[in-house]
Structure 1
Amino acid sequence: MMARISIDPITRIEGHLRIDVEVDGGAVQKAWASCTMWRGIETILLGRDPREGWVFTQRFCGVCTTVHAVASVRAVEDALQLEIPPNAQFIRNLILIAHALHDHIVHFYQLSALDWVDVTTIPKASPTRAAVIADGVGAWEGNSRRRLEDVQNKVNGLIGSGQLGIFSHGYWGHPAMHLSPELNLILFAHYLQALEFQRKALQVVGILGGKTPHIQNLAVGGVMNAINLNSLATMNMDRLGMIQSLLQDLIPFVQQAYFVDACLLAASYPEWFRYGRGAANYLAVPDLPLDAKATQFDLPGGVILNGNLGSVRTIQNWNDQALRSAVAEDVTHAWYQGEGPQPPFQGKTDPDYTDFHEDGKYSWVKAPRYDGHPMEVGPLANVLVGYAAGHPLTRKWTDNAFKKISSLRGPNLTPDNLQSTMGRYLARAIRSAMLSDLALQHCRLLTANILKGDDTTYNPPVFPQSQITGVGLHEAPRGTLSHWVVIDKGTFSNYQAVVPSTWNASPRDQQGVPGPYESSLLANPVADPSRPLEVLRTVHSFDPCMACACHTFDASGREIAQVKVL
């Protein structure tokens, strides 16, 4: 029997997202992804000084703030062909690494763990047995029987009160949830511990960026961090030591708790490597530059089409002309004026709201395409591109994950298995482990450069009166982010942001081809249409961030069904 489900809004994400699916025979047959909010930041930027664009672009989102700031200054620097000092590169890199670690930890635990972990079974767990299991899979210090018992007591008190608070609307007891009470206890204990460790990541961002969210230290041409080892008011050895200490506290949680938990989840739910493949085209860009000219990077970039890892085309640097000429945005099914795909430099963001029409316009998100192909971006793309290109750090942590999952009596995996719902969760943990390896390395690079006597952090920009264009690229936590700017007579005459969730939440294009969210939901199981937990699992695997992706919230619309979501 055909059932139509509308989940509006999807929660435990940033922004407003509506997902509609048609379910028949216990599986999704059609899907629509609709962003229901418009920001209009690109319109606000027109006519403004390019040196202040990054301050505005951080307001695309309340979560992905630093990434838009960095992409904005990179776009203007690209247009000016302006190099920035090595110190500025390393400071930016450390901010981006710390921000990404925070983002990934929060996604796994606070935003998606409750799709898999049944909190209400925790009172049945044996803390002693749970501690033995935890010790058998990892060496995390937070796995003691006493700490697990404390967590169980908290849950007992919560359930005993009859008021579950933020956990009151979970799909507890759903047939798709099958972790043992002990595993639920372990993962929920780490859910609570993650709150402390994501805070340490943000402290690094705050020390370097002046505050968080919405850092204050960037500038077109570098950063505004003054360096003077003899001053208490500037970047000195004490502050560098504080950053290093915070990272040293954070890294064990990433590698011994988060990474292991992702492997444990993958081993416990192997069936989810069969669902959620989606577009099977992947895009990632190189990032974490190691020199002023940005010719060498710690993270690789590339393009994979049709799920064929052997066909990877590497992207060596940000000047890749094939990438710049391939990107276009289609508004056929988006609430904007215009027809057909437009390159971002010529793109417009003129709203044209028509209500939700599944065969017409139904989303505030445009449909980006790469040479006409829908592309998935994000940690999965980042890991697949790196593995296919032979990137040593990617291969190290991916192979470690496969070995860990196999040791937990999970499936024997290959990189191709990662093209799935569970693969996205695992890839995000792999990327986090990679970033944790790079964190202290970039801290040492900054320290070493300062100790050589280099205290330069800024090269002043000079704007010509002629028209110039630039692209700012960043491999953000949710994937490839690009800001496209046209500067004329020293002000922005066009500004377009093609962001990760725009790629992934794309509606159908002019040819009727669905975007990654929509295609990944096809054949997704749905055991109970009134409790579509499985739909949430696949959507949450992308870590949606709709405030960035939409280019006004309208509460009117045809209500098809109402379901509770946590």
Structure 2
Amino acid sequence: MSRLVIDPVTRVEGHLRVEVAVGNGYVTEAYASSTMWRGIETILEGRDPRDAWLFAQRICGVCTTVHALASVRAVEDAVGAVPPRNARLLREIIAAALSVHDHVVHFYHLQALDWIDPTAALKADPARTASLAQSVSDYPRSTATLFASVQARLGAFLASGNIGPFTNGYWGHPAYRLSPELNLLAFSHYLDALDFQREYVKVHALLGGKNPHPQTYVVGGMASPIDLASQDAINDNTLAELSRLLTRGLDFVEKVFLPDLYAIAAGYPEWTTYGRGLASYMVFGDYSQSPQPTGRPVRDGLFPGGVIRDGNLRSVEPFDPAGVAESVAHSWFRYDDAGDALAPWKGETTPDYTGPEPPFEQLDVAGKYSWLKAPRYDGIAVEVGPLARMLVGYAAGDARIRPLVQGALDRLRIPPAALMSTLGRVLSRGLETRLMAQYSLELLDRLRDNIAAGDLTIADAGKWDPSSWPDGQARGVGFHEAPRGSLSHWVVIENKRIRNYQAVVPTTWNASPRDAHGKPGAYEAALVGTPVADPHRPLEVLRTLHSFDPCMACAAHVYDADGRDIVEVRVQ
């Protein structure tokens, strides 16, 4: 039995180390370690709660606005602020657009190279590639001339020897099985996705002033004025441009993204049998049409909340916030309070590094080995993210999600349980992208209708003044179904200042180390059983890891208010 170390895992946000034991060509055990320290919660202590979202969204420059939304919802829950309808719609348009943008970028630029081999595209026939593309979609960029041009550009790029993100790729690996034509088609769309995401992200600039980190959230609503007659506010031109951008998003997803996913799924059917992992899933729920946020789970949202245990799709239990707790038994933190697991409102963020000085050969997996805590729900490890949302919606019989999922199952001729896999995780992200692209246009229509009815209110101004807040101590939680999964921010306010703040993020759930009972996190569980054809080129391990879309910057983020060096990186 051999032990493989992948450090750092590339094509992820942040720093991730994974160690796997391999026996008889398959992973027998796995350990995931975040190698960067979490610190934002400590920075927020003692600050004005109205400023929390500005700091919190700096947790990550990729996930960007999701932390702003969860943070402002947490403070609003604590102080009793209910944002008006326009504010909720503006926030949700921003969030839905982020999901579309994030999922497209993740697949094409962070994961696609696990499935496509650009070097194989050099052998493709551009005319046959065009015929293949035109058979699945009427996407206009599907001509033999265009594919010949892309192939020539790719050939010149690879021949230059200066190949940037393609350096050290596992090209020619036996696990690559797509035809040269499909490789060329997918690589062409890799390039198209670069142009698409640059244009589509203008949604955030229009509604938030910039991307990343939009600047228009406030406790009680939004700071974006609505005045159809003013050039300094959201007006008819803004709404028209939003419509154009969101429509383009839906078009790209339906004509490019989903056809590519189906083609890849058809080429790798065995990957519905790898990566099952925990088979327990959790969804908070989100995108409710009723006044939100509250500290209560969302029952009537686009994403229904719920928990599936042990792969049982016949039963979805309600999500209960009281079930969330974080363990540090194998994390480089300590709890001064009694007990190993703490609820987030009582959470502590005290670093306690017990490992050797980096670099080191092997993790101390019997002791502490990660800068991530281990969140658990009702004592069990759960997976969060697009797969969880699609499965919970499917099992709950949701009117939108069940037909969407069933259509994919019928097309691929697979049972629902096959989604509990590496390939199912990838496919679920694509299905969710289509759902969000469609829903973003519905949200825009609701915003237009609300404005047309004469409602221009964007904030609950009465709750901006701390004198209106509860006396003494107040606490709140903000839930959000972010692209990578269920995100929550928990705040305790005392004497109008933040006394405690905890962010429990999707990658912390999925990438967590083992807990006090030895239960692995979602990454660790999903890697077991993964085939490894070549231990020196563990492409298959990366496929399963990337299917989660790891974001270690969210899960363990670094901040030093004094500007001191925290880590030194040297090139040898």
Normalised by the length of structure 2, the TM-score is 0.93
Report the Cα distance in structure 1 between the residues aligned to 2:520 and 2:57, rounded to whole angstroms: 29
Report the Cα distance in structure 1 between the residues aligned to 2:50 and 2:427, rounded to whole angstroms: 38
Report the Cα distance in structure 2 between the residues aligned to 1:359 and 1:554, rounded to whole angstroms: 25
Gaps of 5+ in 2: 356-362, 559-565
Query: Identity rate of aligned residues, in percent?
Result: 51
Which of the numbers 355, 359, 366 marks the counterpart of 2:366? 359
Which of the numbers 303, 308, 311 marks the counterpart of 2:312? 308
Equivalent positions of 1:137-152 (< 5 A) are: 137-152=136-151
Which of the numbers 499, 503, 506 marks the counterpart of 1:493? 499
Report the Cα distance in structure 2 between the residues aligned to 1:61 and 1:209, rounded to whole angstroms: 16
Which of the numbers 308, 322, 327 marks the counterpart of 2:324? 327
Contact 2:409 2:416 (C-alpha < 8 Å) held by counterparts: no
Report the Cα distance in structure 2 between the residues aligned to 1:165 and 1:488, rounded to whole angstroms: 50
Report the Cα distance in structure 1 between the residues aligned to 2:77 and 2:139, rounded to whole angstroms: 43
Report the Cα distance in structure 2 between the residues aligned to 1:401 and 1:182, rounded to whole angstroms: 23
SS at match of 2:30: strand
- The alpha-carbon deviation at position 69 of structure 1 amounts to 0.1
Is it true that 1:478 corresponds to 2:484 in the alignment?
A: yes
Contact 1:101 1:201 (C-alpha < 8 Å) held by counterparts: no
Report the Cα distance in structure 1 between the residues aligned to 2:457 and 2:112, rounded to whole angstroms: 43
Q: Which residue of 1 aligns with 2:563?
A: none
Q: Which residue of 1 aligns with 2:41?
A: 42
Q: Which has the larger displacement, 345-354 or 201-210? A: 201-210
Q: Which residue of 2 aligns with 1:396?
A: 403
Letter of the structure 2 residue corresponding to residue 351 of structure 1? P
Is it true that 1:544 corresponds to 2:550 in the alignment?
A: yes
SS at match of 1:392: coil
- The alpha-carbon deviation at position 208 of structure 1 amounts to 0.4
Letter of the structure 1 residue corresponding to residue 265 of structure 2? A
Equivalent positions of 1:116-195 (< 5 A) are: 116-195=115-194
SS at match of 1:424: helix
Report the Cα distance in structure 1 between the residues aligned to 2:567 and 2:20, rounded to whole angstroms: 20
Letter of the structure 2 residue corresponding to residue 450 of structure 1? I
- The alpha-carbon deviation at position 166 of structure 1 amounts to 2.1
Matched length: 543
SS at match of 1:72: helix
- The alpha-carbon deviation at position 403 of structure 1 amounts to 3.6
Contact 2:325 2:341 (C-alpha < 8 Å) held by counterparts: yes
Is it true that 1:426 corresponds to 2:427 in the alignment?
A: yes
Two-structure CA RMSD over aligned residues (Å): 1.5
Report the Cα distance in structure 1 between the residues aligned to 2:36 and 2:161, rounded to whole angstroms: 35
- The alpha-carbon deviation at position 162 of structure 1 amounts to 3.3
Report the Cα distance in structure 2 between the residues aligned to 1:475 and 1:493, rounded to whole angstroms: 25
Report the Cα distance in structure 2 between the residues aligned to 1:67 and 1:5, rounded to whole angstroms: 34
- The alpha-carbon deviation at position 109 of structure 1 amounts to 0.3
Q: Which residue of 2 aligns with 1:443?
A: 444
SS at match of 2:325: strand
Report the Cα distance in structure 2 between the residues aligned to 1:422 and 1:293, rounded to whole angstroms: 34
Letter of the structure 1 residue corresponding to residue 333 of structure 2? Y
Contact 2:374 2:514 (C-alpha < 8 Å) held by counterparts: yes
CA distances 1:330-366 after superposition (whole Å, capped 9, x unpaired): 0000000125111111110000001142110000000
Q: Which residue of 2 aligns with 1:208?
A: 207
Report the Cα distance in structure 2 between the residues aligned to 1:123 and 1:526, rounded to whole angstroms: 26
Q: Which residue of 2 aligns with 1:350?
A: 350
Gaps of 5+ in 1: 316-322, 406-411, 557-566
SS at match of 1:311: coil
Letter of the structure 1 residue corresponding to residue 494 of structure 2? D
CA distances 1:418-457 after superposition (whole Å, capped 9, x unpaired): 0000000000000001011111100000011011110000
CA distances 1:190-223 after superposition (whole Å, capped 9, x unpaired): 1110112112331101110111101100011000
SS at match of 2:350: coil
Which of the numbers 512, 526, 536 marks the counterpart of 1:530? 536
Equivalent positions of 1:143-292 (< 5 A) are: 143-292=142-291
SS at match of 1:276: coil
Letter of the structure 1 residue corresponding to residue 353 of structure 2? Y
Q: Which residue of 2 aligns with 1:454?
A: 455
Distance 1:403 1:145, change over 3 A: farther
Letter of the structure 2 residue corresponding to residue 388 of structure 1? A
SS at match of 2:490: strand
Contact 2:326 2:342 (C-alpha < 8 Å) held by counterparts: yes
Contact 1:281 1:376 (C-alpha < 8 Å) held by counterparts: yes
- The alpha-carbon deviation at position 314 of structure 1 amounts to 4.2
Q: Which residue of 2 aligns with 1:103?
A: 102
